[in-house]
Amino acid sequence: MRSEKGYTVIEMMVVLVVVGIASTIAIVDHSAKLPHNNLRKASRNIVSKLRLIRQRAITTSANTSATFIVNHNFYFFKDVGEYQLPRYIRFGLPEEVKDKPNGKPIPTSARDGSSFTNEKVSFEPDGTMSGAVTGRIYLTNASNSSSGDELFREAFAIEVNRTGQVKLLKWNETQWE
C-alpha cells in the first residue's frame, strides 16, 4: 500500500472552480454599487472643494469662485483645478424629486443641476457667498431616460447659503435629509 501526501488534480480543480465562482459574485456585487459609491464620492469632493475655495477667499482676502458646466458634467474651481464627474453621475435630479430641501417646488431651471446664477458660486473675502441667498448643485446617478435605471435613483444636493456655509443633503426617496 502506497501512501502519498498532497492533493489530486480533481481536488485542485474543484477548489479553483469554487474560488472562481466566489470571485465572480464579489466582482458583480462591487460593480453594482459603483454608481452609488461614485455619487457619494463626487458629492463629497464638490463639498470639500467649495469649502476649500471659501477658506482661500478668507485667507487671501480675494474673491474665489466655482463654475459648473452642468450640460457637460464638468466643473472647475478658480486656482484649484478642473474636474469631470465620474461615469454614471450627472448634474440634475431624478424625475420623482419634486421639492427643494426647504420644501418648495424645484423650479424648472434648477432641474438641470444648478440653481446658481450662471451656474457659478462666488465667495467674498469675508467668506460669504456673492449674489443669491441660497444656491444648490444637484447630483444624481439616475440617467436622463425614464427606463433602465430604477435600481439607482439617488440624489444629493450641495447647498451654499448666504453666509457661505456649505451643506450636503441626501434624497432618501421621500424627503431631503
Determine the pLDDT at residue 133.
80
CATH no. of 38-171: 3.55.40.10
* pLDDT band per the 50, 70, 90 thresholds, residue 143: low
Per-residue pLDDT tens digits for 47-80: 999 999 999 999 999 999 999 999 999 999 988 8
- Asked if pLDDT for residue 148 goes beyond 60, the answer is no
Q: Is the pLDDT of residue 121 over 90?
A: yes
- Count CB-CB contacts under 10 A for residue 93: 23
Question: Which strands form 74-77's sheet, in the order they lie side by side?
Answer: 81-84, 74-77, 64-69, 120-123
The pLDDT of residue 160: 95
Report if pTM > 0.85. Answer: no
Overall average pLDDT of the 106-123 stretch: 87
